[in-house]
Amino acid sequence: MTPQTPASPAPPEVGAGRYAPSPSGDLHLGNLRTAILAWVLARRSGRAFRLRLEDLDRVREGAAQRQLEDLAALGLDWDGDVMVQSERGDAYAQALGRLQDEGRVFECFCTRREILEAPSAPHAPPGAYPGTCRDLSPQEREEGAAKMLALQREPALRLRAGVREFSVEDHFAGTVTADVDDFVLRRGDGVAAYNLAVVVDDAAQGVDQVTRGDDLLTSAPRQAYLATLLGAPVPAYAHVPLALNTAGARLAKRDGAVTLRDRLARGESAGDVVGRIGDSLGVPGCRTARDVLERWDPAMLPQEPWVVELPG
């Protein structure tokens, strides 16, 4: 299989949807279903469709190329070059510098364990940052810097949030309001954190429609809030149900033959895999992503997770 040639870039005024996998391995059926939905929702609204490889964490050699090949095999195309996050350090540093200049960033010397064990504010979600380093004295900052030196790491940089919560509109979930804490912008290893990178990259790619798994639904308000601070447009959101295994846990590669290549090795075709995804969306008989585009209506999206049952 070879990746489909990307289409010519669409005019920026049409906006864009996107799909942004992490190249940590082959995409499983749940990933492929979300990719098709993101492509369909973008194409049916006249938007461009962008691809981005979110490779700031664990990367498996060859996975990025395999993912592009698999998406093309299902009939997906995309506009413009594929964006690669590991090549975007300067853009993240520039956004971070803007926030620092505005006094919206502070150093955090806490370890992950210290954050988890610290008392949280009333009604704060589990794991929310308790504000430990938000207003340290000069002496406390010196002590924190010494601790980081001993640990051979940099302090994390956190957003000094000016709100406690923020709301977004989601195509399927309606109005979603979630807590906004002083979340990390740059990690202790010096790498841009996900919430900063995704906001900067969506703005750079002209993305105004974000379709992704609903496990990220409560992350949307903090990302939308950060977008407003950076002067970037807040995208329209469409969070879709995840794929689960028969035990009710999130589908994963350890669940067996759950990738496109696994299914091909068992005698199925790419069309069979699209057909399986189409069945899960209430449009049986699909063989390519374009079939889903032509036949599926977003009002048909099941609100419950897709439980994947596979032979062999």
Residues making up the binding site for L-glutamate: 18-22, 54, 194, 212
Binding residues for Zn(2+): 108, 110, 129, 133
Binding residues for ATP: 253
Q: Annotated catalytic sites, by residue?
A: 253
CA distance 260 to 27: 7
Binding residues: 18-22, 54, 108, 110, 129, 133, 194, 212, 253
